[in-house]
Chains A and B, each alone.
Chain A
Amino acid sequence: MQPLKEGERAPDFFLPSTPDQRVSLHELRGRPVVLIFYPADWSPVCSDELALYDELLPEFKDLGVQLIGISCDGVWCHLAFAKDRKLRIPLLSDFEPKGAVSRVYGAYDEKTGESKRALFVIDAEGVVSWSDVLPVGLNPGADGVIAALERLAKREPEAAR
């Protein structure tokens, strides 16, 4: 399945971020959201990628953006991983039913049973404004995401503020 493309509505989700908290996409409306799908906690490239995005939180904050990580790992795994790597980005667990959200975004790998490495920039109204699926072994960097967010900020000078 192809990943959701620019102009498509981003499907809502309601996924656990901790054993007793859930996050939905609709509650984040009003500002852009970056969804970072990644294959697995603990794997070296994912950790580098998330560490980079976590490092860049001040810059994303300046752009008025919320970052969200999503993988099929369970909440306890996410908790241990986030604590170990000192991550501040919320990590959502697409664990049960397994990969359901990754699938509707076209970011699920049927062969490995993991989320693909995929990035979605969603605008303040919940519409996909940019997406990219990357090779699993590659740390993508943030240039594509930043460029998409800057285009958004230009398009919606009011909404971005």
Chain B
Amino acid sequence: MNPALTLPVSARDHAQGPESAPLTMVEYGDYQCPYCGAAFPVVKRIQKRLGDDLRFVFRNFPLTRAHPYAEAAAEAAEAAGLLGKFWPMHDVIFKNQAALTPESLLMWARRLGLEDKDLAATFGRPEILRKIKEDRMSGLRSGVNGTPTFYINGARYEGPYNDEYLLDALGAALREARAPR
């Protein structure tokens, strides 16, 4: 039996796509993880392909022992989120995984038009650290066993992270969601 998502998607989450979408895909990811980096463009293409049928949610699962900048990157994305720029920051981080030192993260945030004074007031806020911890704990409870781990309509996805397999699984979930009961 596949483990299931234990913390339902809610207003606490960063989501793209309509709330009423028949498909919700949740990713537990680590910004410094190369596999998450490889999955990033796949997710983008899938979002484009499925349009309003898909709601995509990203939750933090930084593997801080293996990836020294993963936590800082997660905090930076969440901080940008408090300033209304979560997804642009998320994207710029995944596009520049080789440059995630604190200095680089600050530079990316500035390039998104965020002001130093706002960033200084936001970075490291306790609610950001709490949120990341909560994300990680919810992942643990849901059976995340590495990154990235995806959940499609609440069930853990077990296949490879490529367009074909993910679209297959999403298609099956879509048919199930639309099947008359």
Name A residues whose Cβ lies closer than 8 Å to a Cβ of B.
Answer: 48-49, 51-52, 54-56, 59, 86, 139-143, 146-147
Q: Which size class do B's interface residues fall under?
A: 10 to 19
Is B90 in contact with chain A by the CB < 8 A criterion? no
CB atoms of B141 and A55 under 8 A apart: no
Are B140 and A146 neighbours in the complex by a CB distance under 8 Å?
yes
With a 10 A CB-CB cut-off, give which of A48, A59, A140, A141 has the most chain B CB atoms: A141
Residue of chain B at shortest CB distance from A147:
B141
Given known A59-B136, A59-B137, contact A54–B65 (CB-CB < 8 A)? yes
- Interface segment out of the listed B107-115, B117-125, B142-150: B142-150
Question: A51–B145 contact, CB under 8 A?
Answer: no
Q: List 20 A-B contacts (CB under 8 A).
A: A48-B146, A49-B145, A51-B65, A51-B66, A52-B146, A54-B65, A56-B140, A59-B136, A59-B140, A139-B145, A140-B145, A141-B3, A141-B143, A141-B144, A141-B145, A142-B140, A142-B143, A143-B3, A143-B6, A143-B140
| CB neighbours of A146 from chain B (8 A) | 140-141
B residues adjacent to A (C-beta < 8 A): 3, 6, 63-66, 136-137, 140-146
Q: Which residues of A contact B65 (CB under 8 A)?
A: 51, 54-55, 86
Question: Within 8 Å CB of B143, what residues of A?
Answer: 141-143
A142 and B63 CA atoms in complex are apart in Å by 14
Give Cα A78 to B63, complex, Å.
Answer: 22
Bound: A141/B136 CA distance, A? 13
Neighbouring A residues of B6 by C-beta, 8 Å: 143
Question: Which of B64, B142, B146 contacts A143 (CB under 8 A)?
Answer: B142
Report the minimum CB–CB distance from B143 to chain A (whole Å).
4
Tell me the complex Cα distance, A59–B63, Å: 13
Which of A49, A56, A143 gathers most chain B CB within 10 Å?
A: A143
Contacts of A51 in B (CB 8 A): 63, 65-66
- Supposing A141-B3, A143-B3 touch, asked if A55 and B144 sit within 8 A by C-beta, the answer is no
What's the minimum C-beta distance from A59 to chain B, rounded to whole angstroms?
A: 6
Other than A52-B145, A143-B140, give 17 A-B pairs with Cβ distance below 8 A. A48-B146, A49-B145, A51-B65, A54-B65, A55-B63, A55-B65, A59-B136, A59-B140, A139-B145, A141-B3, A141-B140, A141-B144, A142-B140, A142-B143, A143-B3, A143-B142, A147-B141
